[in-house]
Structure 1
Amino acid sequence: MSTLPPDDQPRGRGLLLLELDGAGSHPAAWRASRTVPGAVLAPDHLRGAVLAAESAGFHAATLSDPGLPGHPDPDDAARLNALQRAAFAGPMTRSLALIPEVDTVYTEPFHVATQLASLDYVSGGRAGWLVAASPSAADAAAVGRDTVRGAGLSREAADSIEVSRRLWDSWEDDAVIRDVSTGRYLDVDKLHYIDVDNGNYSVKGPSIIPRPLQGQLPVVSPAGLLSPEAVAAGAADALLVSAPAPELLAAELAETRAGLAGGGREPALIAELDVVLDSRGQTAADRLAALNGHTAWESPRAQFVGTAAELTELLTEVLAWADGVRLHPAVLDTDLEELSRLVLPELRRRGLLAPTTPDATFREQLGLGRPASRYAATSTPAGAVGSISTTAAGAEN
Structure 2
Amino acid sequence: MSDIPFAVALELDAHGAHPAASSASAGLSPRLLASRVAAAERFGFTAVTFEDSPLPAGDAVARLDGVQRAAFVAPLTSAIGLVPVAHVAFSEPFHVATQLASLDWASNGRAGWIAEGSGTAREAAAYGREALTDAELARERHDVIEVARRLWDSWEDDAVIRDAATGRYLDADKLHYVDFEGDSFSVKGPLITPRPPQGQPVVVAPAGTRGADVALVTAADPAEISDAASRARASGAALVWAEVEVVLDARGVPAARRLGALGGWTDVGRLRHVGGADGLVALIAGLAASVDGVRLHVAELDVDVEEAGRVVLPALRERIGFRSPRAGETLRDALGLERPASRYATTAVKEFA
Shared fold (TM-score, shorter chain, > 0.5): yes
**Match of 1:118?**
102
3-state SS, counterpart of residue 354 of structure 1: coil
> Structure 1 regions of 5+ residues with no counterpart?
1-6, 32-36, 389-397
Q: Contact 2:54–2:87 at 8 Å: present in 1 too?
A: no
Matched, 1:26 2:13: no
Separation of aligned partners in 2, 1:261 and 1:280: 40
Deviation at 1:262, TM superposition (A): 5.4
Q: Contact 1:189–1:379 at 8 Å: present in 2 too?
A: no
Q: Contact 2:13–2:27 at 8 Å: present in 1 too?
A: no
Matched, 1:219 2:195: no
Structure 1 segment 39-58 matched on structure 2, within 5 A: 41-58=28-45
Give the direction of change, closer, same or farther, for the CA distance of 1:380–1:185 in structure 2 (3 Å limit): same
**Match of 1:256?**
228
Deviation at 1:261, TM superposition (A): 5.6
**Match of 1:348?**
317
Matched, 1:238 2:214: yes
Higher deviation after alignment, 45-54 or 298-307: 298-307
Q: Contact 1:175–1:187 at 8 Å: present in 2 too?
A: yes
**Match of 2:242?**
271
Matched, 1:210 2:197: no
Q: Percent identity?
A: 49
Q: 1:61 aligns with which of 48, 52, 69?
A: 48
Q: Contact 1:175–1:186 at 8 Å: present in 2 too?
A: yes
Question: Which residue identity is paired with 1:169?
Answer: D
Deviation at 1:134, TM superposition (A): 0.7
Q: 2:254 aligns with which of 265, 269, 283?
A: 283
Deviation at 1:40, TM superposition (A): 5.5
Deviation at 1:57, TM superposition (A): 0.8
Separation of aligned partners in 2, 1:14 and 1:107: 32
**Match of 2:59?**
74
Structure 1 segment 124-163 matched on structure 2, within 5 A: 124-163=108-147
Matched, 1:311 2:280: yes
**Match of 2:295?**
326
Larger Rg: 1
Q: 1:302 aligns with which of 271, 274, 279?
A: 271
**Match of 1:16?**
8
Structure 1 segment 355-394 matched on structure 2, within 5 A: 355-380=324-349
> Structure 2 regions of 5+ residues with no counterpart?
none
**Match of 2:86?**
102
3-state SS, counterpart of residue 128 of structure 2: coil
Aligned length: 353
Q: Contact 2:45–2:324 at 8 Å: present in 1 too?
A: no
Aligned Cα root-mean-square deviation (Å)? 2.2
Structure 1-normalised TM-score?
0.84
Question: Which residue identity is paired with 2:108?
Answer: G
3-state SS, counterpart of residue 78 of structure 1: coil
Moved over 4 A (4+): 37-40, 260-263
Separation of aligned partners in 2, 1:153 and 1:84: 24
3-state SS, counterpart of residue 376 of structure 1: coil
Separation of aligned partners in 2, 1:12 and 1:313: 19
3-state SS, counterpart of residue 99 of structure 1: strand
Separation of aligned partners in 1, 2:3 and 2:344: 35
Matched, 1:173 2:157: yes
3-state SS, counterpart of residue 115 of structure 2: strand
Separation of aligned partners in 2, 1:201 and 1:153: 13
Q: Contact 1:185–1:387 at 8 Å: present in 2 too?
A: no
Structure 2-normalised TM-score?
0.94
Give the direction of change, closer, same or farther, for the CA distance of 1:372–1:12 in structure 2 (3 Å limit): closer
Separation of aligned partners in 2, 1:40 and 1:185: 39
